[in-house]
Amino acid sequence: MAPVASQSKPLSQRGQQADDRGGGTAAPRGRRSLDFRFKCRNSHMAQLSNPQARLRILVTGWEGGGNVPPFIAALRGLVARGHDVRLIADDSMKAEAIAAGARFQPWTRAPNRPDRSPASCFVRDRDIADPIAAFRQWTDRIFVGPAQDYALDILDALALKPADLMIGSDLLFGGMLAAEVSRVPLVLLAANISLSPLPGHPPFGPGFQPAGNAAERARDAEVAAAGEALWNQALPTLNAARAHFGLAPLARVLDQTASAGRCLLATSRSFDFPVVQMPDHVRYVGPLLEEPSWVAASGHRAIGDGTRPRALVSFSTTHQGQDEVLRRIVAAFGQLPVSAVVTLGKALEQLAIEAPDNVGIFGSASHEAILPSVQVVVTHGGHGTVLRALRHGVPLVVMPMGRDQNDNAARVEYHRVGIRLDPTASPSEIARAVQDVLADASFAEQARRMAGLLAAEDSSVDRLLTEIEAFAAGHRAETLERAA
């Protein structure tokens, strides 16, 4: 995406329908009064008085492709820990949520994708050449524009069954708004790197390296200000939603994140840029690399006889206009003594590409099964693909196409675990980049070093659960102390 984030203050400095396994009747629609807040608070206090009780957790999600597997992994872990977990999200996530052991409720007012087909996507990046225009559409259609509808759906879910804790996306401002209205403690889960740059980091979006001089720091400040202005174009809409619930207006869109007590980053500290000092409310929990259900069952796809290097090509589960890029990549491998597996994903599984004999093209395949036998990954730079490759010690050629991909590519370059290449590169340029990664042993050495660092970190799911439970316990203690 375009540069969209800005520095925000640490929290320490900042001020329906029955679910599929439940039953009951939806709460009335419309404005929520203070009575609703007191009802939620009384139920919450009753639960707090029993510190051994399992948590009642409401998770809010949305269908954005790569952001889904980390949330499903979180659901699975929370259920296994014995907590009572509900997910309110797009219908496209229903089967995976139920398989993870959670209950499921669909969005009714808020945007709801029925499936993962390209036609159901609310923003079609492939049709938008300007990344700033694409970000505006995402903001208007998902992140901020429908905040009131998201909040109303969540408040209905809380009226139907109260929760002790909410876990929400760092991009769904309607979830943050609902947490503020209901006063239910909120943990934000970022599916990849931090949207708001951590101290010492460049602004999100362009894929800059950390600033090394005054000119680069000035560049970062200018881009951060532009990102802030982009977010604040949605401020009238957000403040109108806040007024609907009787809340005071905000000066900045990103001030709404103050309703969260924690922000958990589902990436690795080892992969990220060095941090000068972590904000009190932000924690790394590590990458949550659960494979999508439609991939895990597809099995191992192999090509070649093992006498020459192997490559994996993966370009997103959502449509970003990568058709022509993939065709150029396939043509590039036609020039190389390398065997390649290309996985198309849900968005492009019907795409027809003429391939040479050394390239196999599949709608889906398990990357976990393929990666142990490959020497290079060519990708758009989605966080899950990049971290999965590095977990297996495989270097990359990254051709970012927007969203968080420029910033992931910048980290690949920073750690020297691969090469960043423009997505407009010709087949010959792509072939040369692949050859460079295979020929220069330092890329593989650095990728194996990164794999060792990732392996040394504790289980990401365990760290996620520990952080969530510790936050809930701290909130419980503070609430009981205030009530005493």
Write the DSSP symbol of residue 261: S
CA 320 – CA 315 distance, rounded (Å):
9
Which pTM value belongs to this model? 0.87
Q: Evaluate whether 349 touches 322 at the Cβ level (below 8 Å).
A: no
CA 221 – CA 228 distance, rounded (Å):
10
How far, rounded to the nearest angstrom, does the alpha carbon of residue 158 sit from its chain's CA centroid? 24
pLDDT of residue 47: 54
pLDDT of residue 402: 83
Report helix, strand and coil shares of the chain as percent, to nearest 5: 45, 10, 45
Q: For 420, phi and psi rounded to 5 degrees?
A: -95, 135
pLDDT of residue 128: 75
Tokens of 331: 């043509």
CA 312 – CA 388 distance, rounded (Å):
12
| Alpha helix positions (H), 105-234 | 131-138, 147-160, 173-182, 214-232
pLDDT of residue 33: 44
End-to-end alpha carbon distance in the chain? 48
Tokens of 262: 């924690």
pLDDT of residue 403: 82
pLDDT of residue 22: 41
Q: For 237, phi and psi rounded to 5 degrees?
A: -65, -45
Task: Enumerate residues 6+ apart whose C-beta is below 8 A from 417.
Answer: 390, 395, 396, 443, 446, 447, 450
CA 369 – CA 83 distance, rounded (Å):
31
| H, E, C per residue of 211-235 | CCCHHHHHHHHHHHHHHHHHHHCCH
Tokens of 313: 């090509």
For residue 23, the one-letter residue type is G
| Residue of 388, 420, 458 whose CA lies nearest to 192 | 388
| Residue of 172, 124, 122 whose CA lies nearest to 151 | 172
* pLDDT beneath 50, residues of the chain: 1-18, 21-31, 33-34, 38, 46, 48-49, 51-52
pLDDT of residue 178: 98
| Residue of 288, 302, 307 whose CA lies nearest to 366 | 302
pLDDT of residue 1: 44
Buried b (16+ CB within 10 A) or exposed e, 151-182: bbbbbbbbbbbbbbbbbbbbbbbbbbbbbbbb
Taking CA 197 as the corner, what is the angle to CA 192 and CA 202, rounded to the nearest 5 degrees? 110
Residue 224, beta-bridge partner list? none
Write the DSSP symbol of residue 317: S
Taking CA 384 as the corner, what is the angle to CA 108 and CA 284, rounded to the nearest 5 degrees? 90
Task: Spell out the long-range contacts of 426-432 with Cβ–Cβ below 8 A and sequence spacing 24 or more.
Answer: 426/328, 427/328, 427/329, 427/331, 427/332, 427/334, 427/335, 428/332, 428/335, 430/328, 430/329, 430/332, 430/378, 430/397, 430/399, 431/332, 431/333, 431/335, 431/336
CA 117 – CA 319 distance, rounded (Å):
9
| H, E, C per residue of 425-442 | CCHHHHHHHHHHHHHCHH
Place of tokens 């407009």: 424
